[in-house]
Amino acid sequence: MNRGKWYAFLVPTISVLIAFLVGSVIILLIGKNPLTAYVVMFQGAFGGSEQLADTIVKMTPLVLTGLAVGFGFRAGVFNIGAEGQMAMGALVGAIVAMSFGALPPVILIPLSIISGMLAGAFWASIAGFLKAFTGAHEVISTIMLNWIAINVTTFMVAGPLAVGTGTPKSPEVAEAAKLPIIFKVQAIELSIGIVIAVIAAIVMYVLIEKSTMGYELRGVGFNPYASEYGGINIKKNIIMIMAISGSLAGMAGIVDLLGVPPQRFLGELTGGRGFDGITIALIGRNNPIGIIFAALLISALRTGSNAMQIRAQIPNDIVHILQGIVIFLVAAERIVAALIEWKKREKVTA
Amino acid sequence: MAPGTAESEAAPGKDHAIVMKAITKQFPGVLANDHVDFFVKRGEIHALVGENGAGKSTLVNQLYGFHLPDDGKIFINGEEVFFRSPKDAIRKNIGMVHQHFMLVDNQTVTENVILGSEINLPVLKGFLDRKKARNTLVSLSKQYGLVVNPDAFIEDIPVGMQQRVEIIKTLYRGADILIFDEPTAVLTPQETEELFKVMRLLKEGGKTIVFITHKLNEVMAITDRVTVMRLGKVTGRVDTKDTNPRQLANMMVGREVLLRVEKKEHEPGDLLLEVNKLSVHDNRGLQAVKDVSLSVKEGEIVGIAGVAGNGQSELVEAITGLRKVGSGKIRMSGVDITDLSTWEIREIGLNHVPEDRLKRGLITKYPVYFNSILGKHKDEPFSKDGFLMLKNIRDYAKDLVERYDVRPRNINQLGGNLSGGNQQKLIVARELDDKPRPSRCVVVAQPTRGLDIGAIEFIHKTLISMRDQGIGILLVSMELDEIFSLSDRIIVIYEGEIMGEVKPDEITKEEVGLMMAGQRKAEEAVKWSDER
Amino acid sequence: MNWLEAILAILVNPIFYQLTLLAATPLIFASLGGVFSEITGVVNIALEGIMLMAAFNSVVFTYLTGNAWFGVLMAVIIGVGFTWFHAWASIRWAANQIVSAAALIIIAQGVTGFLMIPIFGHPGQTDFIGRVSPVRLEFIREVPFVGRIFGSLSPFVYMAFIAVAVTWILLYRTPLGLRMRAVGENPEAADTLGISVRKIRYFGVLMSGAMASLAGAFLSTGELGRFIEMMTHGRGFIALAAMIIGNWNPVGALGASLLFGASEAMNLQLQSSTIITVSANVKPLFNVIPFIVTLVVVGGFVGKTRPPAASGVPYEKESKN
């Protein structure tokens, strides 16, 4: 079968289109006009420079959680715990960023980010360790770690770190830890966070495609038995894969925290963005470049659906439904493939 | 009688149990059956022979309702049938003893026998009548001399008994036509004899038997008639008494074949691999290898003969670092490698052709050029400062496929898309090749399983020539013929223990067969300990 | 020593045992759901999402009809329909079962959140809608200790135990159960005997949907009488852990569910304990107890239990000879 280069992108694209189609039926069911809803959504995401900037700001951590999950997938590990790793990364990174305000930004910013990455890596490698040494499936252990992380961070910002009243929050980080702003559109500040995320994507690409380590971990993902036979240490690789994946999720947390005002740990911070990483990795086909575009798509859906909720009174939970449908179709991509084949055949007979 | 035209009767009639006419079956990329005619008389043992990939399994899978023919007709006892699933075939009293046993490991013998044709309680419909099921099984087992333990779990019983369970399964369903798919592949010569007794008993009881095999001496020993297939077509149809193995082999392969490999005498050199009182446990924690000692010298092939599942896999895995050693020592040129990692063992020059090429030997989703460096990927010139050196890798792969005749020559092909024979050639090439570091000793397990005769010849020749160049080879194989034709020394293993060491030209296959079934050769054991 | 004292005080209090039963009930149902699906060879990590859907639907239909049992019934019917998508993707389309199930979880979150406003007028949680009334056993109420545990209990608790027994009999004493176990262990063997792997797997996955739906309906209509967004709170995954630790056996899953139920009961009781003196801030931290217990037990038990051999592997007839 001759499947061109574009075929890889065809399935996710068609999945997204089908999701929008189903979404419009749902919108119709609650008595709204899907067309106006989607127009409002589009405007909310791309309608002006402010909207666009907002979309890019929101996209930054999504690129990183998408990379986190996608990296795991490439190595045959389902890291469903990006949510918890992101929270732990943000928490630990924030504590460092609050505590060492005397350091200059060139030191404090990398230091905070690295500590956030290490926290995420540590949190994920617990699941990696359990998988490697006891065989505990990472899906269950990372979910448990998510709940633990969420309870721990909630406790920290409501207790030891708490300031002010209302939503539990930590103090702001030191001025020197805040990410430099690239430009400002009205209330939206676009920091260098997006640059960091894109660099992370490039590093991941090189690591996977060009390095000896990438050869090993893709091998482990494809066939652990053959890899073991080829002298690859499976246990070490699984822990390392989880650690790298977790470090990307932790980076998502701390980069978001340092780059978006108010630069503090506020409420539940992660807000499902770790889980969004699953959708993004799947739409982006675990390819770092694909992940950047998928993150843009999901981020646009987020900003757009907020606008839709306010201006068209359609609950923004619709985004979850759309995301779920996309994931479902990518998981069962043969459904979409069969649709494509069927379309082709129809064209031939017509 | 010329092959291909031999037909004992013009038109198959009422005395035929099976008539398959002009059966055609196409799979993506392969015409597996091309207008195949297959006739079996009632009450005979009929051999269906051919190389791997000749289309034998496809043919009987259609007879058993597992696949639907694209074209052609099937008659059972003179009546045309259309099988949509095995259920339909079972209803017409056809039973199949599969090559890879179709048994549920974590269920009992009784449960396996009744599965799909359960007996319900007389009052409480919908509940199993386990007592009645057991009794039926016991009486069948007595009738045909098929000894089984009805309450044992499949995973706990030996292969021979598992096969008997498979036979009872078909009889329980009332089978009159029994298909045996390569049934002797997993048996010792003695167990094979036992099986043949059962088959004769079944024949006396009026059953019709289709016997699929590629072992021609077995065809001569037990069958009445033979149908030969090659490349999806029937190439011969003869009465067994009118033919001989050489003629059958020619019909199978389509050319003259050498039934034995040429091998020159060769004086072994220094000691390479030395295994001393090795004990290893299997996945379930049972001792699979007991106190095994053996050695391999430069330029010799040491064969390990034994029935599958007697600790060979665990022994190989322990030597190559894939399994933890319970106790004992393994040395390579005097260096202790007992607790080294697989990578470190490879670096010392001990390589491995694994028994399961798809599970262990290849990463099927990697292209050929990536597969050609598996296990060498961290070495220069393939890797430098943590980065892959793609050009060097590709050059090496091109050279390797050229020298070892891996087809097609396209190194971008995915490993999984190569044919079995070419996959095996690639693995053998990689493991025996002495770049980038010398390969000095290779553990070779089941090197020709499932390959066609051409590929087998190539691999045998390669192994012999490597031995002549001074590489030491530890050969593990279930094929006794292979062990006999390649080995300089033969070690027989049974239930994880060494039964003795013999020279292939000083012993018969039957004697080795007895050792494979657990008979120790006293004088051999003595000789072995003297040598040390 | 007041920690030990507090735990001891909890252990001699019948309320702890009642809470254990109540906390275990959804886990029992859901872990049976996991067993049903995986024993036939399909991994179903969507339990969490199916539970959430059922928790929501049972409240919706209780709200619409005023009858809590009708709400439960509808929750099960819709839950089975929802689960069908996972079955279809896994069995018909050989999908990645973990990913397709993850999709169902996200869809469930989306649908339940999305419909809150159109149906109940506000997000977050519903008002008290109504619940299945508890079974009062007057003759037991007077018995000391035991009476405080069993005197007044949700019928779901009893149903859960009955479901364990029925599932066990089905799996180990009927032809259907024999076939289910065979299909999950060696589908090819079952296929060669004329058993439809497809039908058996659909049955297993859809039964798993029914069980998970009962688990979800219990959380809302069986216990609280209202729906709260994301109220399943990871229980679907804890139930999967219970299934693993219980060695894919209904009775084992029951035992593990009780253990996890007890850890949740301990968490609740420690939070309301008056013996230990910690600040109100710290008490929510006890919420991690069930998750840590699950993590530790799963880490310790896996490898000692044995999953069905074909679990998670799509079954397709080989296409070559």
Kindly tell me if the per-residue pLDDT of B380 is higher than 50. Answer: yes
What are φ and ψ of residue A345, in 5° steps?
A: -65, -40
With contact defined as beta carbons under 8 Å apart, do B113 and B137 qualify? yes
The residue ranking higher by pLDDT, B525 or A46, is A46
Dist. CA B414–CA B403, nearest whole Å? 19
Q: What is the DSSP string of C136-195?
A: E-HHHHTSTTHHHHHSEE-HHHHHHHHHHHHHHHHHHHSHHHHHHHHHHH-HHHHHHTT-
Q: Does A205 touch chain B (CB under 8 A)?
A: no
Residues C201-211: b if buried by 16+ CB within 10 A, e if exposed: bbbbbbbbbbb
Can you give the pTM of this predicted structure?
A: 0.89
Instruction: Check B128 against C189: CB less than 8 A apart.
Output: no
Tens digits of residue pLDDT in A303-328: 999 999 999 889 989 999 999 999 99
pLDDT, position C261: 96
Chains near A (3 or more Cβ pairs under 8 Å): B, C
With contact defined as beta carbons under 8 Å apart, do B494 and B516 qualify? yes
Kindly tell me if the per-residue pLDDT of A29 is higher than 50. Answer: yes
Rounded to 5°, the CA angle C66-C72-C77 comes to 120
Q: Contacts of residue C285 in chain A, CB cutoff 8 Å?
A: 151-152, 155
Quick one: average pLDDT of B302-311? 89
Name which of B406, B446, B438 is nearest B423 in CA terms: B406
Kindly tell me if the per-residue pLDDT of B532 is higher than 50. Answer: no
Q: Contacts of residue A325 in chain C, CB cutoff 8 Å?
A: 103, 107
What are φ and ψ of residue B304, in 5° steps?
A: -110, 115
Q: What sign results for the dihedral spanned by CA atoms C315, A128, A123, A249?
A: negative
pLDDT, position B257: 64
Q: B-contacting residues of C 91-130, CB under 8 Å?
A: none
Out of A212-216, B59-63, C259-263, C302-306, pick the least confident.
Answer: C302-306
The residue ranking higher by pLDDT, C154 or A344, is C154
Q: pLDDT class for A3, splitting at 50, 70, 90?
A: low
Q: What is the DSSP string of C77-142?
A: HHHHHHHHHHHIIIIIS---HHHHHHHHHHHHHHHHHHHHHHHHSSSSB------PPPEE-HHHHT
Instruction: Check B388 against A215: CB less than 8 A apart.
Output: yes
Q: pLDDT class for B245, splitting at 50, 70, 90?
A: confident
Q: What is the DSSP string of B194-249?
A: HHHHHHHHHHHTT-EEEEEES-HHHHHHH-SEEEEEETTEEEEEEEGGG--HHHHH
Q: How far is B99 from chain C (nearest CA, A)?
A: 12
Dist. CA B40–CA B209, nearest whole Å? 9
Tens digits of residue pLDDT in A236-250: 999 999 999 999 999
Kindly tell me if the per-residue pLDDT of B441 is higher than 80. Answer: yes
Q: What is the DSSP string of A180-227?
A: PEEEEETTEEEETHHHHHHHHHHHHHHHHHHBHHHHHHHHHHH-HHHH
Task: Locate A178 and state its tokens.
Answer: 């805040």
* CA quadruple C187, C188, C192, C193: dihedral, nearest 10: -20
pLDDT, position A262: 87
Q: Does C296 touch chain A (CB under 8 A)?
A: no
With contact defined as beta carbons under 8 Å apart, do B45 and B229 qualify? no
pLDDT, position B219: 92
Tens digits of residue pLDDT in A282-298: 999 899 999 999 999 99
Which of B102, B125, B214, B284 to substitute to test the interface with C, most C CBs within 10 Å?
B102
- Taking CA–CA distances from A335, the nearest residue in chain C reads C93
pLDDT, position B18: 94
Kindly tell me if the per-residue pLDDT of A146 is higher than 70. Answer: yes
Kindly tell me if the per-residue pLDDT of B217 is higher than 70. Answer: yes
- Taking CA–CA distances from A168, the nearest residue in chain C reads C281
Tens digits of residue pLDDT in A82-120: 999 999 999 999 999 999 989 999 999 999 999 999 999
Rounded to 5°, the CA angle A279-A285-A287 comes to 115
Instruction: Check B343 against A232: CB less than 8 A apart.
Output: yes
Nearest to C194 among B53, B87, B103 (CB): B87
pLDDT, position B528: 46
Quick one: average pLDDT of B3-13? 48
Q: How far is B139 from chain C (nearest CA, A)?
A: 21
Nearest to B363 among A210, A222, A231 (CB): A222
Q: How far is B21 from chain A (nearest CA, A)?
A: 32
Q: Contacts of residue C311 in chain B, CB cutoff 8 Å?
A: none
Tens digits of residue pLDDT in C270-321: 888 877 777 777 777 888 999 999 999 988 877 677 888 888 888 886 543 3
pLDDT, position B53: 77
Q: Contacts of residue A219 in chain B, CB cutoff 8 Å?
A: 363, 366, 374
Kindly tell me if the per-residue pLDDT of B526 is higher than 50. Answer: no
Q: Contacts of residue B111 in chain C, CB cutoff 8 Å?
A: 178
Burial class (CB in 10 A: 0-12, 13-18, 19+), B203: middle
Tens digits of residue pLDDT in C56-82: 999 999 999 999 999 999 999 999 999
Dist. CA B103–CA B92, nearest whole Å? 22
Quick one: average pLDDT of C158-167? 98
Which of A154, A327, A341 to substitute to test the interface with C, most C CBs within 10 Å?
A327
Q: pLDDT class for A348, splitting at 50, 70, 90?
A: low
What are φ and ψ of residue B429, in 5° steps?
A: -60, -50
Quick one: average pLDDT of B344-349? 92
pLDDT, position C321: 32
Kindly tell me if the per-residue pLDDT of B6 is higher than 70. Answer: no
pLDDT, position B208: 96
Quick one: average pLDDT of C210-230? 96
Quick one: average pLDDT of A182-186? 86
Q: Does B381 touch chain A (CB under 8 A)?
A: no
- Residues β-bridged to residue A175: none
Taken in order of first residue, the domains within chain C and their CATH numbers are: 2-300 (1.10.3470)
Instruction: Check B387 against A231: CB less than 8 A apart.
Output: no
Kindly tell me if the per-residue pLDDT of B1 is higher than 60. Answer: no
Q: Does B412 touch chain C (CB under 8 A)?
A: no
Q: What is the DSSP string of B103-118?
A: --TTSBHHHHHHTTSP
pLDDT, position C248: 95
Listed by start position, the domains of chain A span 60-292
Q: pLDDT class for C32, splitting at 50, 70, 90?
A: very high
Q: Does C194 touch chain A (CB under 8 A)?
A: no
Q: Contacts of residue C291 in chain A, CB cutoff 8 Å?
A: 144-145, 147-148, 151
Dist. CA A116–CA A110, nearest whole Å? 10
List strand residue ranges (DSSP E) for chain A, in order.
181-185, 188-191
Q: Contacts of residue B358 in chain C, CB cutoff 8 Å?
A: none
Tens digits of residue pLDDT in C71-120: 999 999 999 999 999 999 999 999 999 999 999 999 999 999 999 989 99
pLDDT, position B191: 83
Q: pLDDT class for B530, splitting at 50, 70, 90?
A: very low
- Round the CA-based radius of gyration of chain B to a whole number and report it: 25
Q: How many Å is the maximal CA-CA distance in chain A?
A: 73
Nearest to C186 among B88, B102, B114 (CB): B102
Task: Locate B273 and state its tokens.
Answer: 């691999």
Quick one: average pLDDT of B65-88? 92
* Whole-number average pLDDT of chain C: 92
